[in-house]
Amino acid sequence: MPGRFDLSVADLAAVLDGEPAYRTRQVWRSLHQGREPEEMTDLPQALRARLARELVPGLQPVTSSVNADGDTTKWLWSLADGTRVETVLMEYRSGRVTVCVSSQAGCAMACTFCATGQAGFERHLTAGEIVEQVIRAGRASPGGRVSNVVFMGMGEPLANYGATWAAVERLHGDVGLSARHLTVSTVGIVPGILRLAEERLPVNLAVSLHAANDELRDSLVPINRRYPLTAVVEACQAWIASRNRRLSFEWALIDGVNDRPSDAAELAAIARPLAAHVNLIPLNPTPGYLTRGTPAAGVRAFRDRLVAAGVNATVRRNRGTDIAAACGQLAATGVPPLG
């Protein structure tokens, strides 16, 4: 039996065989509002009990942890086949509530500094498994509400294009999130970016750049050998050219590796013509990569160089490092012991 969010409308109608036809839409809507069958008080008691048995969850919580600041929660889930993935919920003072979803268990991209990449690829997630992460995290959020979803958890969403896009459409059409509040992040899978540019919904695109010359990028992000910078930049141009698309670059600052003045100059030369926003973040520690993140003063200096070169750049707060929930730290092991 597939998880409840991997049922199509027709599958759900089959589960509801013998019930009035309107029940299918009613239950579909309730599920996407995050209600458990037991909580669907607009259904007869016997039907609720039956649905509780038949609409099996696709995700079971193994552990959940909250950071010391109390604004970031991470879940470790077990999927129906025992595969493990993680999801992060972030609350902001502005009222924004962002869920960071995984699109794959593990990742095949092998970025050297990323804990998910260090662990290797396990399997693709289904669209339902992606949607269910949002629904379950949303239940735990203040007001039971999610405002933004970022595909920045475990895995490479554009290497699992079909499920990623199906999840985007469900989050838009059934959960009710606007495309503007959905962000797909990619290591730079060129055919995927081009495909995304053709889609009807103008979601946001984030490209994990981290280096702006091929020699350095080859060493940090191995897929750069297949899709080198010129090809990534061309795909980004196509993205910008299709209407209403927003582009940002992610740049994890690594001490002495990609935080030099020459790196800022090379990044500015790429980002400025694309009017891309640059998100800077000091590298988070992971077990398999020993170089540390750029110290705070260096991060500010790097940002100032970008801004002086006419690039829109912001430094992102590192949240959830104490529960290994920050960018690049998701390894589906829950919270590793300190030290």
* CB burial string 189-214: b at 16+ within 10 A, e below: bbebbeebbeeebbbbbbbbbbbbee
SS3 category, 30: helix
Nearer to ligand SAH, 144 or 288 (CB): 288
The distance between the two most distant Cα atoms of the chain, rounded to a whole number of Å, is: 69
DSSP 85-120: EEEEEEE-TTS-EEEE--SEEE-SS--TT-HHHHH-
Q: Which residues are catalytic?
A: 86, 327
Nearer to ligand SAH, 111 or 163 (CB): 111
Nearer to ligand SAH, 264 or 281 (CB): 281
C-alpha of 11 from chain center = 28
Output the CA torsion 327→331→334→337 (10° steps).
-90
Interface residue list for ligand SAH (CB under 6 A)? 109, 111, 113-114, 152, 156, 185-187, 208, 250, 252, 281, 283-284, 286, 327-328
We find the least distance from the C-beta atom of residue 31 to ligand SAH, in angstroms, to be 27
Nearer to ligand SAH, 30 or 160 (CB): 160
CA dist., res. 185 & res. 23, Å (int): 37
> Tokens 């520690």 identify what position?
285
We find the least distance from the C-beta atom of residue 130 to ligand SAH, in angstroms, to be 13
